[in-house]
C-alpha cells in the first residue's frame, strides 16, 4: 500500500552483520517497529544462514552438524517483520548516508549480486571479528581460521580426508600426517582440542579403526606462560590437567613465528609437525572498517561512546566484537564476548527507540557474568560473577549446565520460549537417530 503524500517516510534502520548482537537487535526491532509499521528494519549479512559463533569449534570437529542448528536469515526476517539482504559491507558514505556493498560471487567466481549501496537513517555496525594473524609469515596460506561456518566445515572436510587417507594406508605412515596444531590457548583453542579428542575416538568407533588414537597428536600452542590468563590461576591449572588427561600436547610460552605446509615454527626454534593447522591466537575487526571515516583503533574496531554511538556520528552505532566500547570500571574496553554482544544489542535497541523519539540516549554498562570454557563431554570450567557472591569458580556438571544455558538464552531472544522448548524436544529425539559425529 502506498503512503499518503503528506506522511513522513518510514525511518530506515540498517543493521550490518547477523551475529549474536546484530540478529538479536534486528529481531527485537522487527517485532516492535517493523511489525507496527513504524520503521523499515533491514539486516545485511554476507551469509544466508546464522549459527552461534561459540559453536564453530564443534562444527569443525564434526560433533555438531551445522544443518541441524543453523538459522535461515530469510525465515527469521519473515517471522519477525524485518528484511534480509545478502551482501558484504565494503565501505561507508556518511554524507549520502549509504552503506556500500561489495559484489557477491559463487563458488565458481561468477558474480551473482553486483556491487550496490543501501541507504539508511540509522546504521548499526555489528560485523563481528576475524582472526588476527599479526602478520606472521605463512599463516594466511597454511592455517585455517574459524571465523565462519564455511571455514569450520573446511577444517572438518580436511580432517576426514586425512583420516580416510591414513585408514586406507593402514595407519599413519609419516610424521605429523594426522597431527593438528592449534595456535592460541584461549577458549576457542581449548574447546577445539577437547572436541577433536572426542571426534578421533568416534571415528574409530565407526569403523576407521586402522588409525589408532596414538596416531593422532593434538598440539595446543600458546605464547603466554599459562592458558586462560583472564581466568583465576586455579581454573587454568584445572584446564591443563584435563587437557593432559586427554593427551593434548601443550606448548606454553611458545610464540609461533612461521607457519609452514608441514607444521609451525616457534621463537625458540621448536618445529611442531602438523598437517592441519588452526590459527586462534587473537581477533580483530574486519580491515575495511579502518578505511571508513569513523574513528577506529589499532584492531580496526569502531570507537564508540558509552551510548554505543560512534564518536563522529550520532546516527551510527557499533556493537559486538567490532566496537571499542569503554569499560570505565576496568579502564579498558569491553571484551569481545557473546555476552557483551547480547547486552549491547539490548542497549542499542533502547537507544534507537529513544533517538527516534527525540530523547537522550542512555549509557551502556557492561555486566561481567564470568567466563566458561567447555571441554566437551569431559568437563567445563569457569567463574561466575555476581554482586552477592563476587567471583565463584565452578567446574563439572554445574558449569556444563550454565554453559549450555548461554546458548539457550540466545535462542530465547530469537525464538521465544515456546519455540525453544520445541527445539529442545526435537534435538533430543534427533540425537537418537543420527551418528554422534558428522561422517561426510
In a domain, 403, yes or no: yes
256 plus 185 within the same structural domain: yes
Max mean pLDDT among 7-21, 25-39, 378-392, 412-426 falls in 25-39
* Residue among 386, 422, 372 nearest 239 (CA): 372
Whether 190 shows a pLDDT value over 50: the answer reads yes
What's the confidence (pLDDT) of residue 389? 46
Domain contains 47: yes
Phi-psi group of 274: left, alpha or beta (phi > 0 → left; psi -120 to 50 → alpha; rest → beta):
beta
The 3-state DSSP class for residue 181 equals strand
Residue-wise pLDDT for 292-312, tens only, equals 999 999 999 999 999 999 999
Task: Work out how many domains the chain is built from and give that number.
Answer: 3
Count CA atoms within 13 Å of residue 361 on its CB side.
Answer: 22
- Extract the C-alpha cell encoding 283: 581477533
Reported in sequence order, the residue ranges of 130-191 that DSSP labels E, i.e. its strands, are 130-131, 180-183
CATH code at position 179: 3.50.50.60
Mind listing the pLDDT tens digit for each residue in 207-251? 777 888 778 899 999 999 999 877 778 888 888 999 999 999 999
User: Counting beta carbons within 10 angstroms of the beta carbon of residue 373, is it exposed (0 to 12), middle (13 to 18) or buried (19 or more)?
Assistant: buried
Say what the pLDDT of residue 387 is. 46
pTM attached to this predicted model: 0.91
Q: How many CB atoms lie within 10 A of CB 363?
A: 12
pLDDT tens readout for residues 83-101? 999 999 999 999 999 999 9
Structural domain includes residue 364: no
Average pLDDT, the chain: 89
The pairing of beta strand 271-273 with beta strand 283-284: unpaired
Name beta bridge partners: 371.
383
In this structure, the answer to whether residues 144 and 229 fall within a common structural domain is yes
In tens, the pLDDT along 112-152 reads: 999 999 999 999 999 999 999 999 999 999 999 999 999 99
Cα–Cα distance, 201 to 212 (Å, whole number): 9
165 and 295 share one domain: no
Amino acid at each position: 500500500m502506498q503512503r499518503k503524500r503528506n506522511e513522513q517516510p518510514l525511518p530506515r534502520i540498517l543493521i550490518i552483520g547477523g551475529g549474536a548482537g546484530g540478529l538479536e537487535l534486528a529481531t527485537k526491532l522487527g517485532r516492535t517497529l517493523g511489525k507496527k509499521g513504524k520503521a523499515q528494519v533491514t539486516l545485511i549479512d554476507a551469509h544466508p544462514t546464522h549459527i552461534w559463533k561459540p559453536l564453530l569449534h564443534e562444527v569443525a570437529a564434526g560433533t555438531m552438524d551445522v544443518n541441524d542448528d543453523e538459522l535461515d536469515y530469510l525465515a527469521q526476517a519473515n517471522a519477525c517483520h524485518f528484511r534480509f539482504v545478502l551482501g558484504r559491507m565494503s565501505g561507508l558514505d556518511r554524507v549520502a548516508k549509504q552503506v556500500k556493498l561489495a559484489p557477491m560471487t559463487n563458488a565458481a567466481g561468477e558474480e551473482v549480486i553486483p556491487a550496490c549501496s543501501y541507504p539508511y537513517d540509522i546504521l548499526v555496525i555489528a560485523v563481528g571479528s576475524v582472526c588476527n594473524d599479526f602478520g606472521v609469515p605463512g599463516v594466511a596460506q597454511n592455517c585455517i581460521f574459524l571465523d565462519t561456518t564455511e571455514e569450520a566445515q573446511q577444517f572438518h572436510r580436511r580432517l576426514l580426508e586425512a583420516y580416510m587417507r591414513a585408514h586406507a594406508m593402514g595407519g599413519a605412515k609419516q610424521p605429523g600426517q594426522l597431527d593438528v596444531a592449534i595456535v592460541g590457548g584461549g577458549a576457542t583453542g581449548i574447546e577445539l582440542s577437547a572436541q577433536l579428542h572426542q571426534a578421533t575416538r568416534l571415528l574409530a568407533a565407526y569403523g576407521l579403526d586402522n588409525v589408532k588414537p596414538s596416531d593422532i597428536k593434538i598440539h595446543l600452542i600458546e605464547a603466554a606462560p599459562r592458558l586462560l590468563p583472564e581466568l583465576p590461576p586455579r581454573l587454568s591449572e584445572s584446564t591443563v590437567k584435563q587437557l593432559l588427561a586427554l593427551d593434548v600436547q601443550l606448548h606454553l610460552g611458545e610464540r609461533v613465528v612461521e607457519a609452514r605446509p608441514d607444521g609451525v615454527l616457534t621463537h625458540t626454534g621448536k618445529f611442531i609437525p602438523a598437517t592441519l593447522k588452526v590459527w586462534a591466537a587473537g581477533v580483530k575487526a574486519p580491515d575495511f572498517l579502518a578505511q571508513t571515516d569513523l574513528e577506529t583503533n589499532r584492531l580496526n574496531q569502531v570507537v564508540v561512546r558509552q551510548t554505543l554511538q560512534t564518536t563522529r556520528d550520532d546516527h551510527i552505532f557499533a556493537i559486538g566484537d567490532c566496537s571499542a566500547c569503554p569499560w570505565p570500571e576496568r579502564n579498558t574496553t569491553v571484551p569481545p564476548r557473546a555476552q557483551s554482544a547480547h547486552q549491547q544489542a539490548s542497549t542499542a535497541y533502547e537507544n534507537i527507540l529513544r533517538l527516534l523519539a527525540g530523547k537522550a540516549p542512555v549509557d551502556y554498562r557492561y555486566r561481567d557474568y564470568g567466563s566458561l570454557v567447555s571441554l566437551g563431554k569431559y568437563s567445563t570450567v569457569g567463574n561466575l560473577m555476581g554482586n552477592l557472591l563476587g567471583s565463584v569458580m565452578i567446574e563439572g556438571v554445574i558449569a556444563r549446565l550454565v554453559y549450555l544455558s548461554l546458548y539457550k538464552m540466545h535462542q530465547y531472544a530469537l525464538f521465544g520460549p515456546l519455540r525453544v522448548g520445541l527445539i529442545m524436544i526435537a534435538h533430543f529425539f534427533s540425537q537418537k537417530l543420527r551418528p554422534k559425529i558428522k561422517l561426510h
